[in-house]
Amino acid sequence: MADNRPIVIKKVKKVSGGGHHGGAWKVAYADFVTAMMAFFLLMWLINTTSPDQKRGIADYFAPASVSKSRQGSDGMLGGTSFQDDGARSGGTNRPMPESKQTASKRRTSTKNAGTPSNETNKSKEVSQSAMSKAIAMREQAEFERAEQSLRQAMQDMPDLAALSKHLVIDQTPEGMRIQIVDQEGRAMFAAASAKPLPRAEKILAAVSQVIMKLPNRVSISGHTGDLPTGVEGYSNWQLSSDRANSARSILESSGLDADRIYQVSGKAGSEPLYPDDPDLPGNRRISIVLLRESPVLPSNHSL
């Protein structure tokens, strides 16, 4: 017996990714979460940054430049068509308000205050200061060694040991000062004369051997007391200058390079070693100063 039941064909349309079994909702949710994170991050930045930092952030996102072209005013083409003389006459180029221009210039000057050029200048100043301090420390150490060498030389030589009392060595703002002073009854020069006595020649020769080891320039000055020389037409200014020049001659003949002599001068009695007692023999002296040297500046340095 034949089966006469009707045949029913059921067509099921499968929707891929549809309904709650698809992944589209996950993408939308992820976008939503990302947007919320960005929103809360923005709120946090607004509450935690200073006005200057806000201006810096705004400047960072601002356009790098504004086109001055009149083609397509007020935006990309400005909804107008090209003509021979630029944008359609109905369009306008609105100038930036003056208040905004002033604010923009102020922000620009604020940013320029911390430009790499200024930072570089500050770095150069710090480097120059550090170099000057290092040179000063090294120079001071060399002066101290020179002083010790001179005192040691005076002690090691029997004929100079007795003359060590004639030496006064100290540090001044100008440099290391070596003074050869008169003692009671033991002068360095003949009375009213620029001719050094043998003891002065020995001390000057020993001083020359020590200062030859240093590169510093040398300043020499002669000093006398207040009493007149007793020679008509020959003042203490002339006498002190001649004695300083005699000391220079002995230093050079003992080996000191003449190019290192910076100054030779006579001070007469204008700078007494003992101001309270201008009649003391110690005021009559020869002063030799090893000058402190300024650091050599690079050729491209500008004051």
Q: What percent of the chain has pLDDT over 70?
A: 65
* Integer Cα distance of 93 and 114 in angstroms: 34
Q: What six digits make up the tokens of 27?
A: 């993408």
pLDDT of residue 21: 55
Residue 35 has pLDDT above 60, yes or no: yes
Task: State the chain's mean pLDDT as an integer.
Answer: 76
pLDDT of residue 179: 94
DSSP symbols for 8-51: --------TT-GGGSSHHHHHHHHHHHHHHHHHHHHHHHHHS-H
Domains, in order of start, for the chain:
125-291 (3.30.1330.60)
Question: 6-10, 122-126, 237-241, 295-299: which range is least confident on average?
Answer: 295-299
| N- to C-terminal Cα separation, the chain | 122
Q: What is the model's pTM? A: 0.53
Mean pLDDT to the nearest integer, 227-231:
90
* Integer Cα distance of 15 and 10 in angstroms: 16
pLDDT of residue 297: 42
DSSP symbols for 160-216: HHTTGGGEEEEE-SSEEEEEEE-BTTB-SB-TT--PBPHHHHHHHHHHHHHHTTS--
